[in-house]
Structure 1
Amino acid sequence: MTPTVRLMTTVWALGDYPSVAGEVIPALGPVLVEACGAGPGMRVLDVAAGSGNAAIPAAFTGAEVTASDVTPELLDAGAKEAARRGVRVRWEEGDAQALQPPPLWGDPAHVTDLLGAGVTEIDARRQTLRVNAFATPESFRDFFKARYGPTVATYRRIAGNPERVAALDRDLAGLARSHDLGGGAMDWEYLLLTATAR
């Protein structure tokens, strides 16, 4: 395991990512599964699967599903959730670092380049998810501060500097406040890209 992979594994194991997937963005997995038309007789590979918020809904369609992630703790959490819900998913540790930084996965041109000439019928759509999980900007901040691995890691790194901690506290609450549609509702944009193998 390279130092970069070891770092990413450690970061994503911090906090409680299954609660982020389950409480904040539970609708995203089923949206992707429906867009792909997953069903009986199909094989599904969920790359960077986390705790299975897309893999588990795909398994419910009758597809043969493999979920891959770099973080064993997330795979373990996903396996327990799949067993609890009575569906079968194959869980495999795998490194998707060669796909480059996840923020670029929201760039249609980058994703199209990753897929290369092996696909056709590319459909890229920007969509929004209505998030109602946080009553206040401060509750948004506190949730991500405690449960989202990269944010937890950042707070740990600056823990000895109260001014930086206070600034990050303000910035996270400010981020939520800037997207607040009223009553704590926010619309989060994501890229839904589907393609057909040649």
Structure 2
Amino acid sequence: MASDVTPSLLAVGAKLAAERGASPAWQEADAENLPFATGSFDVVVSCVGVMFAPHHRATADELIRVARPGGTVGLINWTPEGFIGQLFATMKPFVTSPPGAQPAPRWGTPSYLAELFGDRVTDVSVRRANVRIEAFASGAEFRDYFKTNYGPTINAYRAVDPSRVADLDRALADLGDRGLSDGVMEWEYLLYTARTTSR
């Protein structure tokens, strides 16, 4: 079973899965209110997904709820200190978050995940690693790609005051330039796994 709150991303996922010979069931779903029965899954996995749900406690509760007791929760989340975390920090002064929304990169902090999951998990493992990106020749190229294709950046440009668009353009291009070294970017993420306790 695979799910996402955005129908267009489900379509992309289904296409990529088919190209690789996989055929999971696909269902549109909100991470804060999953349409699955309690204890439905042996393994619950999110790769830079649930971290973007605005209400973290509700999302963590749902991950635990749909996993069977003794099941596995696995997460890959961007870290606050890594490049994508710094992307969010760069955009923050230009936009106003919806009331009650919590910062997505907090999911990349082990102590914060310990707070969210508490004693509902055991056998916790956390590891930081990097994904190597060789897609951009300049900070401006990075900015233009993300401005067109990356949801949080698209939303930032929709929300920013028109008089500040040029400033946001420069800030993102500068970030991209700082993140490039010989045509390579290293984006840090946190790999988190845990086993759910009996309820």
TM-score tier, shorter chain, comes to 0.5 to 0.7
The number of residue pairs the alignment matches comes to 130
Separation of aligned partners in 2, 1:93 and 1:137: 34
Equivalence for 2:138: 136
Equivalence for 2:194: 195
Residue aligned with 1:95, SS: coil
Separation of aligned partners in 1, 2:110 and 2:3: 22
CA offset digits 1:84-130 (Å, max 9, x no partner) = 33211121222224226532210112222333323221111111222
Equivalence for 1:69: 4
Separation of aligned partners in 2, 1:180 and 1:110: 29
Within the alignment, does 1:88 sit opposite 2:87 as a pair?
no
Equivalence for 1:103: 105
Which amino acid in the other structure matches residue 167 of structure 1?
Answer: D
CA 1:148 to 1:193, structure 2 compared with 1: closer, same or farther past 3 Å? same
CA 1:173 to 1:104, structure 2 compared with 1: closer, same or farther past 3 Å? same
Separation of aligned partners in 1, 2:109 and 2:18: 34
TM-score by length of 1: 0.59
Query: What's the offset of the Cα at 1:140?
Result: 0.4
Equivalence for 1:171: 171
Equivalence for 2:13: 78
More strand by share: 2
From 105, 116, 119, the equivalent of 1:117 is 119
Which amino acid in the other structure matches residue 108 of structure 1?
Answer: P
CA offset digits 1:12-44 (Å, max 9, x no partner) = xxxxxxxxxxxxxxxxxxxxxxxxxxxxxxxxx
TM-align CA RMSD: 1.9
Residue aligned with 1:73, SS: helix
CA offset digits 1:126-179 (Å, max 9, x no partner) = 112221110111110110011111211222233733xx1111110001111112
Residue aligned with 2:22, SS: coil
Separation of aligned partners in 1, 2:161 and 2:154: 10
More helix by share: 1
Separation of aligned partners in 1, 2:156 and 2:125: 35
Separation of aligned partners in 2, 1:158 and 1:121: 43
Query: What's the offset of the Cα at 1:180?
Result: 1.8
Poorly superposed stretches of 4+, deviation over 4 Å: none
Equivalence for 1:155: 157
What is the aligned-residue identity percentage? 50
Separation of aligned partners in 2, 1:90 and 1:115: 27
